[in-house]
Amino acid sequence: MLELVLEILGEFLLQVVGEAFLELGFHSLAEPFRKPPNPWLAALGYALFGAIFGGLSLLVFPTNLVPQPWRLVNLVVTPLAVGGIMFLMGAWRAKRGQPVLRIDRFSYGYLFALSLAFIRFQFTA
């Protein structure tokens, strides 16, 4: 049972770390561009970035970190949890007066994490 919890935690942390690095990159690139992008194009971009990061994560972790019976549950629950963390990070940034990017909202964070999780779900051994 402890192994299952550690594996689910590992999958969760993989997605959170991925989004944190992505957010850091976006915050550094977003400053020169003040005009907000089209929300539909932004959603497509986050889905593509999630899929790309999911594919890259397969190079480092080629096997699924979650055992077979829990993989579908992980596909549903982990992106929801990551989206919630991104929402909390956005609220924290807003409270401190820092710029809030789209990835700092639940829906975009969820979409990124879902794309990443779906790629891992489909292509891990």
Q: Give pLDDT tens digits for 97-114.
A: 998 888 888 999 999 999
| pLDDT (0 to 100) of residue 53 | 92
The model's pLDDT over 15-58, given as tens digits with 9 standing for 90+, comes to 888 877 777 666 655 544 456 667 777 788 888 888 989 999 99
Domain ranges of the chain: 2-123
pLDDT digits (tens, 9 = 90+) for 50-61: 898 999 999 998
Q: How far apart are CA 61 and CA 43, in angstroms?
A: 26
